[in-house]
Each structure stands twice: as structure tokens, then as C-alpha cells.
């Protein structure tokens, strides 16, 4: 029993296989088959119209429909979408609507009475190439030898961009094993060198779909060598090593990416696997890869970016496993293991399901075999409906991936859909079951001739169709026996194969297709041809330079085949050189040069086969010969005319001297002194080896001939002209061309033609015989003869009747050949009748369809151009819109009887009429009719403003829609709060009456931003909403707690003050608050300057901060600081101790007003200017101590020198202190000079000013008080100075010290070092 069941299954499978191999002819009934569809993931260009393909075949031809995002897509409702005729392809015009409006999931359905086929889901997405976000990129300063990563971070596009790095000159930055780009576009340095310093590291992103390129702001990298800086500074400071840090040492590798010792990666079958390992180290590490669980697939893998990237294409399940990348240098190595998992989206096993053709009562099977990882699920549908919900069919049985049909009957034809899906994708295929009862037929053309070369394989086709499946039988010539044994092989598709064809196999073959309904025979022919063979091959040649060489290539081929000889040089085309002459069986090279050396191949091709042979040419130096002078040839001489006939003559001549360059050809020219005297025309060319030419001439021409010779140097001078040869006149050989007939008036016929030239006239007295007659009336030809003209006007003709026309050339020697008959029409007149039975059908509120009976052709009186529908809006049915509209015209070309009138205004009264028009103009107007359009969805309210903003209430006022499109039945108001992060809260909804234009909302939260949406309604539904935002007033009790004096900060403060934005002035309750796009504006002071923060919800993109000093004198302008899309900014460079007015500005287009926020008053605390924080560095503290000690020793020595002899210097210092200016210091006595202590606070000579550009008295390091005249100084009994050198700790900056006019300042030196660090 089990064996019988298996045999039955095999039989069903075999029948399904054979049935699937049949292609149903399109003249037979069959369900639809999708022939073309757009890809599943369809990325569109927003600059071009969208074309979504869907084509199908079937009998009858299928109709098409679409769904969009799972619901029916009504194409007629969208004026921008058109479906191509006889196709389901959609064309979307994006000139009036943005492309992103049509993003979504589309599916096409093709149906006829035999079934329904569906396309796969087509996801339409618009390609995007967003701009790079603006950012300020700081200079990167690194020490030589360390690693570095330059981020790219391109904007996310669709599809993703291609990343590359270039410089300012658009040259790619060099990459190496040390410097390379990662998969995400970042630029990695395993270690940096001094030559890596540059200011133009630029990351570019190329978006392939729109072919646009965007660039990131340039990155500046500065690489410092600290050892070199040490050497420079040691020269100034007695070779003291200022830097205690050592240069970067060599180090073993570590991975920059990926991190850790292991990671995992998942890839889909058939896709590309890319793994990367980038390491840092010194010296530069080398990267290597191995597969721990097997061998690397060398045929499908490649290394990129200096082996940092391992790329495997066409991934299969065998590529899963553990991969290890290793980074190694002379100091060690590091490893990272990547575990790769291979998943698979569904894929077919043995191909997608195939169409099944069965006869009534037969059995068949549809199979849908697929695999994937994880294992996919399989679902069936019939005619687009899940098979569980489809009509029951007793002959059908579904078993997982198979549908078995048993004893199928007529009416069971359908299209089955198989859907295979898992987590990674899906497959969908259509396969129809077509139940037919058809006698056999052979689809291969009858009497087709097959040609094959002897000893080659021959295949003779017999494509067939029938249901039940026909049996194919082959016969040859006498039909004595069937061809089913050696040497014949018969295939299932009917093809007969002969493995090795011989001459005896030529002949007539008969293919017979037979089933229970009949028999069909077809005859074809087989011709076995002789092969092409090269009998004499080209031979190896050695030739001297300047000589000639000939390669022979003699071939034998089948005489019934046309051969073609081709020569190659070094497997390429022959050079385009006149020295290479190709004949039917040879190649000649004249004046051989060194470049002619090489391998020459002759190839003989026929339509069935070819043969080839090769030989080498070697060029050697020629024996020295006297120099040869090359010149153009002398002109030919002794021109003679012989063998003179009516229309031909033979011309002979004697060639002139060639001047060492062979004559290549002769050019023969003529002059016609009868028609065009003095103009020479090219007649023919002959090879340079001939001196005779047989010339074909025209009648009635006075010929004079001359000859020119051509060699490699150019053309010779023309020869002396020959004697004149006059040909006899004759009747014309041809008639005028382009004969046309048309009318310019309603009662005439204009006949025009292209006249003959003088050379075509063949004789004197050229004229034209013009003939015409009505086509539909049995009448004789009317003839008139004209000359010197190319048109003739026939008057008094009936209006728009067909005529037959002829124009014949005539001269004094006879008439031309019988002319061909042309056709034309007499003149048109205006139509005399209007379309009748005009009716209108209103389809919806904006579209109507007009119908009419076509005007009879005889009443049109001309070429029918089409019909015009004039329509205009009489009035609106709403009392608020009573305007009148100008007439509009719709033109329908051709013989139409109806047309669509789109773009109508809802709830309006329209009038219209129809008229026919031809080439002359329009006909009478049909009676004017009227129709009403129903109500539509209203437009958005004209305006929505917020007034009377209080703590917990807001009043909204609005105006009704300008375009009501019906009677307004009410309004719907929705509102919701918006928090600081622009997140929307719960929505409240309020229904309002039609006559209301304002509403007050109570119980709102104070200091809260709300968003409002208001739309109007008619009986057809709600229209679009207008939105507005507003903020309730801040609780004044809360603001009073925050109302602090922000101007109290002083220079002596030890803590940073935090200025607050002043609250806005109190508004009267009945004032209308303008809607500001800014909210929650605040400030705080940090180390770098005031931080301004805010919230912004406006549409403008150009937002910036403006600030100016409070109470500034004069018309000081606002200073601007861009914010680059952020909602906070630090104002740097503000002067301490000053108050600033700060506000936010949003700028739209040039014709839009600016939006300002409320002003803040920000006070910057006065703190001491601070340099780079190096005061805590050990080397700096030691340096300062050494300098202080040196200065103390110097002061002690100076005071000892001045106090020799017992002088007490206090009196002198008191006198010097009263002077406005000290005397200069002398080098020999160390006295002080050039110091002023006036209110200008001038710095010492050579000293540095603070970074804010001011010098305060407390900041000076050389006050006299510091030397003992203040309370802190001390003297001993003899007046010598014994106090410590110290500044005022409360006000002096530690980074500013004493500096004399003669010695370099160590503080200056350290400040200059700060620019490097």
C-alpha cells in the first residue's frame, strides 16, 4: 500500500513538472501573470516623477487596482496619479505635491475572470541627503607617537552615504597601515607623526542616489615633539630641562576597535560580511586574520584597508564560526575573537512555484519549497484571499508546502499565492492553475531552417502546447520510422538533439504533437555545413625597417556561408594606419617601423564558426641608404576621353612623378558649364594603380573633367581640364517628391511638391503636369501644366472632400515615369452642428463627468480635432461665497463622447456647454446646462489667535474658513500641554457651535505652554486644522521669590554670581499676547562665561543670541552669537564687572518679521584673569621659586652697593616717590627708572598684560610698596632691605611676574609655551 502511494505521488510530481514546462499561448484563456513589478524596497528620487511598475498578461487582459498601506488606493481621487493604459503602472506627478507625501507600502492586484494575481509589497521611500549639522571643531593638539581618532559622523541618509577623506585640494588623504578609515567613516591613526600636522582633514559624504556630496568642517591636527621644545627652552634657561615628561615610548599594540577580547556579529546568507580590527601601538602593528573553526574562504574573501578589514561576499552557512584578528609589533601582540552567526531570509529550493496547466479530470501539484534560518513559515492564498477563507474545492488538498489537485474540473482555474516568511524577510510568488481542454499545437515556426557545422551538436526545436499534454513524435524525410534511438535524443520540451551532426543528417524533419483531442504536425529543416579551415597560415617574418611585408592567410569554408576576414595585432585591433592594407586573403604592411613588431592574427568568421592563426613580425635596422625626399605627386597629364556614349564616357590619363611616395588614389572632378559654371564637383575615385575610369553621366550636362593624385604627402595640383563632353538631353528619369494636398480656404485645394534640380531635369523646358480628382466620385483626372513653381491652387472645390493627386515631370524631350498617387483634402470649414444629448453626472464635490453624442462626420466639415467643454461657476450655494468665475475650457482630442471635469468647487452652481472643433475652428454651442456640486470638507479656519492670557485661563478667537465648501455645522477644538522637552501631553477635545468665534478655556496650568488645534466641519466631515501655541502667565508669587538684584557682583567676590532673566512686564488682562517662539529663557555664569538657555518651538531655522553692554554710550550695535540649532550657548569674551542686555532672535525669510525673546540682564562677575592652569604643576612651582630667589639675591646686592658709606636711602626714595616719573635705572648702580604710578596703570616694559586687555593697580608686580614703602616692608638699623619680595596675594595673578627691560621674561616664555600645549 505504501509503495502504491509513493508511485502516485511521483506520478503527480512528474505531471506537475511537465505541465509547468508549458507556456500557455496568449490567445487561450488564462489567469493573470505578473510580468513586471517594482522592487520591494523602492527608493525614489524626489526630483523626478515616481513610476511604480506593475504589468501582467492574461486572457482576457487583466484589470488593475492598488492598495496603499493596506487600504484601497483610489487613483481617480488623486489628480497627481495616472495609471498607464493597458497596464497597472502608476506615474505620480510630483510637480504639485512633494514626493514624501507618497511614501508608503503599495501592492498591485491584476485580475480577470479566471483569477487574481498580486505583486509583492513595494515600499516607497524618498531618498534623503541631509545637510551636515553645523559645529565648531576645535584644533586637536597631540603629542607625537600617541594614537588618534578623527570622527566623521556623517548625517544619516537614505541610502547611507559613502564616506571618504580629502584635503582642501580635493585630493584623497593618503592611507597606510598606520592611518586608515574605519567602516563607520572615522579616520584612525595607530600613532601620529610630525608630518600628520595639517589643517585640512575633511570628511566627505557622497549620497549615491541623488549624486550629491557634502563635507564636514575641516579638522586641524597639530602634532608636537616635546623633546624638541625642551631643547629650544634649554638655550634660554642655562640648559635647564623645563619638561619633566619623557617622549612617548614604544609600546605593544592595543585595539582601538573592537573593544574587549571578543565580540559577535550576525550576517544574512548571500550578503557581505565585513569585520574590522584597528589597533594602536608604536611601532605600527600589523594585522592578520585566521578562522579558528576552519579555513578562510579564499575565493570569496578579500582584505581592505591594509588587512584591517576582512570582507567575505555571498555569505553561506559555512562562514559561521569564530574569527580571530591579531595585531603584532616588535614589542608584543594582542588578539580579538569575533563570533559570526549566519542567518538566512527565506530562499527558494528548486525555484519558485510554477504555473500548472491541467485538463479536466487530471491530477497535478503545486509546490512551494523554501528554506531559511530560522525556519520560515509557509502560507497559501487563492486569488489574493487566504486559502482558509477561499471557496471550498473538493479536488484541492493543502499539505504544508504542497497543494495536490485530484480529478480537477473546469471552473477550478485560479491564481495561488505562496508566502514564505521569517524574522529576516519574506518571499511571495504567484502560480496559476489553468484548467483547459485544448487540442495540440506546435509553436515553433513552420519550415524553419536550422544550420549546424559538421561534427557539432545539433538541436531542433518543437515547442508545443495542448491540454492534456501532447505526446511528441519525430520523423525524418519518408517518415519510415520514429526518431527515438541513437544518434537521436528527444527531450521533454520536444527538442530533438543530434550529438554529432553529419552530412547525412541534413534533410526535412517532422514534429507531430498528439493528444486525445487531435494531432498537429510541423516541418523544419536541418543543414549540416562544412567547417571553416585555414589552409595556409601566416608565417614568421623578419623585415628591415622601411621595407614591406606580406602575411598570407588562405581559407577554405562552406560555399553557402559568407566569410569575413579580421586581422588583429597583439590580440587588439589593427592600428588605424594607411600603411596596413587588408585584402581578402592577406595583410600587407608598407614602410615598416619598429612599432609594427608584434604578433598578427588572422580570424576567418562565418555565421556558424570561425578559425584563426597567428605569426610574429620582427623589425630590424635597415642598411644605411641615402636620404629620401618625399613630396606630393605631380599632377596627372594627357587627359583623354574615349568610348563615348549617351550617358557614359571613359577617361584616361598619365600619372605624374610620385616623388618617392606611392600614389594611393586618383580623384576625378567635373565642371558643368551649362548649369553651374566655375564650380568643380567630386565625381568618383579610383585606386592609385589605375589610370582609366569609366564614368557614368547624366543627360543634358556640359562636362569638363580634371584629375588629382594623392600620396602620403597629400593631393597634387589639379591636372589641366579635359575637353568638354556634352551629353544629350532626355526625358526626366524621376518625378517630384513630397506631393501633398491641403486647403487654405473652405473652397480650394493647394497641391504642393518638391521641384527637381537642374541636374535632374535631363533637358530644357522643365515643367510639371499636375493632376487631381475627387476620390469618392467616379470622375476623370483634371490636368494642368505649370513651370517654375512648386504649388498649384485649385479653386471652387467642395468643402473638405478627399482628392487623389499626381505630379509628373515633363521637358522638351518627353515626360517622366508614371507618378505615384498621393492623397489630400480640400479646405475645411467650421462645423455646422453641436453635440446632442449632452448630460452630466456629478461624481463627487470636485469632479463631474460630461457625456454627449458625437457630431456626424459630414457635419464636422474638416479633420476632427476633438471636443471642447466650456464650464464656469455661476455662484456658490453658500451666502458667504457669491462670486462669479471666468469660463474654463477642457479639450478632449479625438472622437470622444465623454470627459471628466475636475477641480470643481464644492457646494456651487456650474454652467457648461459642449462644442466640436476641427482644423478651422469651433462649431455651434450645445444648449447651456447647469449642475450643482455637493458639499465638501471645509478649509482651515482663516485665523486663530490667543488673547487674555491669565494664570489659568486663555481666550481663543478665530475666523471662519475662507473656503467653506458647504454649511459649517460646528468646530472641534483640541489642545494639549507641551513640556520643556517638547513632549506632548494628553489631548482635551471640545465641540463648538457653528456661530461661535471665540472660547475661554478655564482651569489651565500656570506657566505652561499649550498647543491648540481648531478645525471646521460640514456634513461631509471635518476639514484641516489650524494650530497655535501659547503660554499661560507665570505665577507672580513664584517670580517674587526669584526676583534678586543681579547687579551686586563685585570684583572681590569669591563665588560666581548667577544673574537671572528679569520677568516680563505685567500685561493688562485684556491685552492680546503675541505668540513668541521662545520660552523659559534663563542664564547662569560658569568658568567660560554666562550660559544662556531657552526653549524654542518656532519654524525659523536662523536663531542667534544678541547682547550689548547695559547703559552703553552712543548707538552701540547688538553683538550676535549663532547657536547652530542648539538651545543653549556660552557667551565668551565678556568683560568682568559689566552688565549685559541679552535677548534671543529668530529670523525667517527676508519679508518676515523678526521674533525676539524677553531681554535678560546678565552681570559678569569681576574675577582675576586666569591663564592656563599650570600653577599646580611641579616644574612651574620650582621655576617660580628659583626666579624669586634670584631676584632676592639681586635686590640684596643692589641695596648693599647703594648703602656703602652709611647713607640712609629712605629720604631719597621719599623724594623719588613725589616725582611724577622716576629716572632710568643705570646698569652700574642698579637704580630704578621709567616707572610711573599714575592712573593709567601702565605695565612694566616687556611685561604681558592680562588676557582681558586691562592692567589694574593691584595686578602690578613692581609697586614701590612691594619694595618696603608699604606697611609690609622692613629695614634694619643701617637702612638695608631685609624684607621678603611678595605681592598682594588677594589681587595679584600668579601667572604675571616681574620682568626687567634687559632680560627676557620667564612669564612671557611660559605664556608662549601655552600656545603649544
Grid cell digits, residue 43: 527608493
Cβ partners under 8 Å of residue 1136, min gap 6 = 1051, 1164, 1165, 1166, 1167, 1252
- CA separation for the pair 42, 51 (Å, rounded): 10
Cβ partners under 8 Å of residue 38, min gap 6 = 51, 52, 53, 54, 122
Grid cell digits, residue 1270: 608699604
Give residue 1151's pLDDT: 56
Neighbour tally for 394: CB within 10 Å = 10
Give residue 1284's pLDDT: 35
| Cα distance from N-terminal residue to C-terminal residue, the chain | 92
Percent of the chain residues topping a pLDDT of 90 = 49
- CA separation for the pair 199, 191 (Å, rounded): 18
Neighbour tally for 399: CB within 10 Å = 8
Give residue 1167's pLDDT: 58
Residue 664 burial (C-beta neighbours within 10 Å; 0-12, 13-18, 19+): middle
Give residue 678's pLDDT: 87
Residue 746 · residue 920 · CB < 8 Å = yes
Which residue, among 953, 909, 913, has the nearest Cα to 929 in the 3D structure? Answer: 913
Q: DSSP assignment, residue 1215?
A: H
Give residue 1162's pLDDT: 85
- CA separation for the pair 826, 803 (Å, rounded): 7
Cβ partners under 8 Å of residue 905, min gap 6 = 846, 873, 876, 885, 933, 965
Cβ partners under 8 Å of residue 688, min gap 6 = 662, 663, 664, 665, 666, 709, 710, 711
Statement: the pTM of the whole predicted model exceeds 0.85? no
Q: DSSP assignment, residue 195?
A: G
Give residue 459's pLDDT: 94
1257 phi/psi in degrees, rounded to 5: -60, -40
Grid cell digits, residue 996: 461661535
CA distances from 1279 to 797, 947, 1196, 1271 (A): 141, 83, 12, 15
- CA separation for the pair 413, 30 (Å, rounded): 8
Q: Which helix (H) or strand (E) holds 74?
A: none
Cβ partners under 8 Å of residue 169, min gap 6 = none
Q: DSSP assignment, residue 99?
A: G
Give residue 1049's pLDDT: 35
Neighbour tally for 195: CB within 10 Å = 7
- CA separation for the pair 819, 1303 (Å, rounded): 115
pLDDT tens digits for 223-237?
A: 998 765 555 455 444
Give residue 283's pLDDT: 93
Neighbour tally for 1084: CB within 10 Å = 15
Q: DSSP assignment, residue 608?
A: S
Q: At what angle do helices 1306-1314 and 226-234 cross, to 10 degrees?
A: 160
pLDDT tens digits for 913-941?
A: 999 999 889 999 999 999 999 988 898 99
Mean pLDDT by 10 residues, the chain (1317 residues): 41 43 83 94 89 95 94 91 93 88 94 95 90 84 93 87 90 91 92 92 88 87 76 49 57 92 93 94 94 91 91 93 94 94 93 92 93 93 92 89 92 93 94 93 94 93 92 85 83 91 92 93 93 89 90 88 91 90 90 92 92 92 73 92 88 89 93 88 91 91 94 93 92 92 91 89 91 86 90 91 93 91 92 93 92 92 92 81 74 91 90 93 93 90 85 88 87 89 86 89 85 91 89 54 35 32 35 60 80 77 84 74 79 82 79 75 68 64 90 90 55 41 38 39 37 39 37 39 36 37 36 34
Give residue 233's pLDDT: 52
Grid cell digits, residue 968: 459649517
Cα angle 1217-1220-1226, degrees, rounded to a multiple of 5: 70
Positive or negative torsion for Cα 1016, 1021, 1026, 1030: positive
Give residue 1113's pLDDT: 63
Amino acid at each position: 500500500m505504501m509503495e502504491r502511494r509513493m508511485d502516485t505521488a511521483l506520478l503527480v510530481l512528474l505531471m506537475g513538472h511537465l505541465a509547468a514546462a508549458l507556456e500557455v499561448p496568449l490567445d487561450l484563456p488564462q489567469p493573470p501573470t505578473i510580468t513586471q513589478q517594482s522592487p520591494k524596497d523602492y527608493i525614489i528620487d524626489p526630483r523626478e516623477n515616481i513610476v511604480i511598475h506593475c504589468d501582467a498578461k492574461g486572457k482576457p487582459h487583466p484589470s488593475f487596482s492598488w492598495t496603499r498601506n493596506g487600504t484601497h488606493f483610489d487613483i481617480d481621487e488623486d489628480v497627481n496619479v495616472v495609471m498607464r493604459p493597458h497596464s497597472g503602472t502608476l506615474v505620480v506627478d510630483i510637480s504639485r505635491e512633494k514626493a514624501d507625501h507618497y511614501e508608503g507600502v503599495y501592492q498591485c492586484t491584476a485580475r480577470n475572470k479566471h483569477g487574481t494575481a498580486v505583486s509583492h509589497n513595494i515600499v516607497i521611500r524618498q531618498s534623503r541627503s541631509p545637510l551636515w549639522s553645523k559645529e565648531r571643531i576645535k584644533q586637536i593638539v597631540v603629542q607625537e607617537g600617541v594614537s588618534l581618532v578623527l570622527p566623521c559622523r556623517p548625517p544619516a541618509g537614505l541610502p547611507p552615504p559613502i564616506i571618504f577623506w580629502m584635503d582642501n585640494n580635493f585630493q584623497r588623504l593618503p592611507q597606510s597601515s598606520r592611518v586608515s578609515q574605519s567602516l563607520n567613516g572615522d579616520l584612525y591613526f595607530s600613532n601620529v607623526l610630525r608630518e600628520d600636522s595639517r589643517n585640512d582633514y575633511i570628511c566627505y559624504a557622497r549620497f549615491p542616489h541623488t549624486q550629491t556630496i557634502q563635507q564636514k568642517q575641516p579638522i586641524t591636527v597639530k602634532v608636537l615633539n616635546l623633546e624638541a621644545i625642551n631643547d629650544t627652552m634649554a638655550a634660554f634657561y642655562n640648559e635647564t630641562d623645563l619638561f619633566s615628561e619623557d617622549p612617548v615610548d614604544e609600546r605593544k599594540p592595543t585595539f582601538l576597535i573592537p573593544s574587549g577580547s571578543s565580540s559577535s556579529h550576525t550576517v544574512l546568507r548571500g550578503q557581505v560580511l565585513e569585520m574590522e580590527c584597528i589597533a594602536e601601538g608604536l611601532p605600527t602593528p600589523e594585522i592578520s586574520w585566521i578562522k579558528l573553526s576552519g579555513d578562510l574562504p579564499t575565493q570569496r574573501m578579500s582584505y581592505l584597508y591594509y588587512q584591517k578589514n576582512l570582507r567575505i561576499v555571498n555569505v553561506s552557512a559555512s562562514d559561521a564560526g569564530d574569527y580571530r584578528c591579531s595585531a603584532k609589533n616588535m614589542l608584543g601582540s594582542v588578539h580579538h575573537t569575533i563570533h559570526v552567526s549566519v542567518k538566512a531570509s527565506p530562499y527558494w529550493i528548486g525555484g519558485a512555484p510554477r504555473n500548472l496547466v491541467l485538463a479536466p479530470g487530471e491530477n497535478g501539484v503545486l509546490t512551494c519549497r523554501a528554506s531559511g534560518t530560522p525556519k520560515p513559515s509557509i502560507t497559501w492564498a487563492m486569488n489574493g484571499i487566504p486559502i482558509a477563507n477561499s471557496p471550498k474545492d473538493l479536488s484541492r488538498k493543502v499539505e504544508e508546502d504542497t497543494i495536490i489537485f485530484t480529478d480537477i474540473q473546469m471552473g477550478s482555474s485560479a491564481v495561488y499565492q505562496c508566502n514564505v516568511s521569517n524574522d529576516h524577510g519574506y518571499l511571495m510568488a504567484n502560480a496559476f492553475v489553468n484548467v483547459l481542454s485544448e487540442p495540440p499545437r506546435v509553436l515553433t515556426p513552420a519550415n524553419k531552417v536550422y544550420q549546424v557545422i559538421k561534427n557539432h551538436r545539433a538541436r531542433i526545436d518543437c515547442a508545443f502546447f495542448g491540454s492534456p499534454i501532447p505526446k511528441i513524435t519525430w520523423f525524418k524525410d519518408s517518415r519510415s520510422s520514429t526518431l527515438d534511438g541513437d544518434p537521436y535524443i528527444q527531450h521533454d520540451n520536444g527538442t530533438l538533439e543530434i550529438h554529432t551532426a553529419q552530412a547525412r543528417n541534413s534533410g526535412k524533419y517532422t514534429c507531430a504533437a498528439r493528444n486525445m483531442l487531435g494531432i498537429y504536425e510541423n516541418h523544419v529543416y536541418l543543414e549540416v555545413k562544412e567547417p571553416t579551415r585555414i589552409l595556409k597560415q601566416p608565417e614568421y617574418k623578419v623585415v628591415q625597417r622601411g621595407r614591406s611585408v606580406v602575411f598570407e592567410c588562405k581559407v577554405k569554408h562552406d560555399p553557402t556561408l559568407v566569410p569575413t576576414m579580421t586581422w588583429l595585432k597583439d590580440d587588439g585591433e589593427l592600428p588605424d594606419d594607411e600603411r596596413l592594407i587588408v585584402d581578402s586573403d592577406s595583410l600587407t604592411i608598407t614602410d615598416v617601423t619598429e612599432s609594427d613588431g608584434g604578433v598578427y592574427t588572422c580570424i576567418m568568421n562565418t555565421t556558424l564558426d570561425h578559425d584563426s592563426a597567428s605569426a610574429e613580425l620582427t623589425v630590424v635596422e635597415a642598411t644605411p641608404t641615402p636620404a629620401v625626399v618625399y613630396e606630393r605627386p605631380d599632377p596627372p597629364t594627357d587627359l583623354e576621353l574615349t568610348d563615348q556614349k549617351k550617358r557614359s564616357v571613359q577617361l584616361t590619363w598619365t600619372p605624374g612623378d610620385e616623388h618617392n611616395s606611392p600614389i594611393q588614389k586618383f580623384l576625378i572632378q567635373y565642371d558643368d558649364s551649362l548649369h553651374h559654371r566655375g564650380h568643380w564637383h567630386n565625381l568618383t575615385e579610383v585606386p592609385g594603380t589605375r589610370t582609366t575610369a569609366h564614368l557614368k553621366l547624366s543627360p543634358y550636362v556640359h562636362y569638363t573633367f580634371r584629375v588629382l593624385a594623392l600620396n602620403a604627402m597629400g593631393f597634387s595640383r589639379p591636372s589641366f581640364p579635359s575637353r568638354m563632353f556634352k551629353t544629350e538631353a532626355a526625358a526626366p528619369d524621376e518625378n517630384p517628391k513630397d506631393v501633398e494636398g491641403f486647403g487654405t480656404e473652405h473652397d480650394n485645394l493647394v497641391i504642393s511638391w518638391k521641384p527637381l534640380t537642374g541636374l535632374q531635369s535631363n533637358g530644357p523646358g522643365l515643367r510639371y503636369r499636375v493632376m487631381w480628382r475627387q476620390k469618392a466620385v467616379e470622375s476623370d483626372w483634371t490636368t494642368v501644366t505649370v513651370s517654375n513653381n512648386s504649388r498649384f491652387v485649385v479653386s471652387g472645390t467642395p468643402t473638405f472632400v478627399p482628392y487623389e493627386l499626381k505630379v509628373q515631370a515633363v521637358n522638351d524631350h518627353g515626360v517622366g515615369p508614371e507618378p505615384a498617387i498621393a492623397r489630400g483634402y480640400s479646405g475645411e470649414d467650421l462645423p455646422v452642428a453641436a453635440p446632442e444629448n449632452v448630460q452630466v453626472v456629478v461624481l463627487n464635490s470636485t469632479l463631474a463627468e460630461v457625456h454627449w453624442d458625437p457630431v456626424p462626420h459630414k457635419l464636422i466639415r474638416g479633420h476632427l480635432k476633438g471636443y471642447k467643454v466650456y464650464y464656469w461657476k455661476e455662484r456658490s450655494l453658500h451666502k458667504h461665497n457669491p462670486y462669479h468665475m471666468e469660463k474654463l475650457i477642457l479639450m478632449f482630442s479625438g472622437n470622444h463622447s465623454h470627459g471628466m471635469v475636475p477641480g470643481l468647487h464644492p457646494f456651487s452652481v456650474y454652467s457648461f456647454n459642449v462644442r466640436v472643433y476641427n482644423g478651422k475652428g469651433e462649431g455651434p454651442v450645445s444648449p447651456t446646462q447647469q449642475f450643482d456640486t455637493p458639499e465638501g470638507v471645509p478649509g482651515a479656519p482663516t485665523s486663530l489667535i490667543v488673547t487674555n492670557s491669565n494664570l489659568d485661563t486663555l481666550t481663543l478667537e478665530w475666523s471662519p474658513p475662507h473656503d467653506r465648501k458647504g454649511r459649517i455645522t460646528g468646530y472641534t477644538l483640541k489642545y494639549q500641554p507641551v513640556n520643556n522637552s517638547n513632549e506632548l501631553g494628553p489631548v482635551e477635545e471640545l465641540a463648538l457651535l457653528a456661530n461661535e468665534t471665540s472660547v475661554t478655556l478655564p482651569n489651565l496650568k500656570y506657566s505652561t505652554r499649550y498647543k491648540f488645534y481648531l478645525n471646521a466641519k460640514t456634513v461631509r466631515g471635518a476639514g484641516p486644522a489650524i494650530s497655535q501655541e501659547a503660554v499661560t502667565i507665570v505665577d507672580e508669587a513664584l517670580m517674587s521669590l526669584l526676583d534678586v538684584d543681579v547687579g551686586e557682583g563685585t570684583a572681590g567676590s569669591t563665588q560666581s554670581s548667577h544673574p537671572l532673566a528679569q520677568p516680563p512686564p505685567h500685561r493688562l488682562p485684556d491685552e492680546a499676547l503675541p505668540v513668541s517662539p521662545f520660552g523659559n529663557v534663563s542664564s547662569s555664569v560658569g568658568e567660560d562665561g554666562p550660559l544662556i538657555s531657552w526653549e524654542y518651538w518656532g519654524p525659523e531655522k536662523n536663531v542667534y543670541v544678541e547682547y550689548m553692554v547695559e547703559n552703553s554710550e552712543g548707538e552701540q550695535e547688538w553683538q550676535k552669537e549663532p547657536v547652530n540649532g542648539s538651545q543653549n550657548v556660552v557667551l565668551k569674551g565678556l568683560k568682568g564687572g559689566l552688565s549685559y542686555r541679552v535677548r534671543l532672535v529668530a529670523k525667517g525669510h527676508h519679508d518676515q518679521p523678526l521674533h525676539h525673546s524677553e531681554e535678560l540682564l546678565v552681570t559678569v562677575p569681576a574675577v582675576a584673569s586666569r591663564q592656563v592652569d599650570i600653577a599646580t604643576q611641579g616644574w612651574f612651582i620650582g621655576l617660580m621659586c628659583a626666579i624669586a630667589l634670584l631676584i632676592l639675591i639681586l635686590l640684596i646686592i643692589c641695596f648693599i652697593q647703594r648703602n656703602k658709606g652709611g647713607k640712609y636711602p629712605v629720604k631719597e626714595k621719599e623724594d623719588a616717590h613725589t616725582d611724577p616719573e622716576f629716572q632710568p635705572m643705570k646698569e652700574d648702580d642698579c637704580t630704578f627708572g621709567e616707572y610711573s604710578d599714575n592712573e593709567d596703570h601702565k605695565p612694566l616694559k616687556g611685561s604681558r598684560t592680562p588676557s582681558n586687555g586691562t592692567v589694574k593697580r593691584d595686578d602690578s608686580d613692581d609697586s614701590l610698596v612691594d619694595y618696603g614703602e608699604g606697611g609690609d616692608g622692613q629695614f634694619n638699623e643701617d637702612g638695608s632691605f631685609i624684607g621678603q619680595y611678595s605681592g598682594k596675594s588677594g589681587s595679584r595673578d600668579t601667572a604675571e611676574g616681574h620682568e626687567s627691560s634687559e632680560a627676557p621674561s620667564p612669564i612671557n616664555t611660559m605664556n608662549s609655551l601655552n600656545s603649544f600645549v
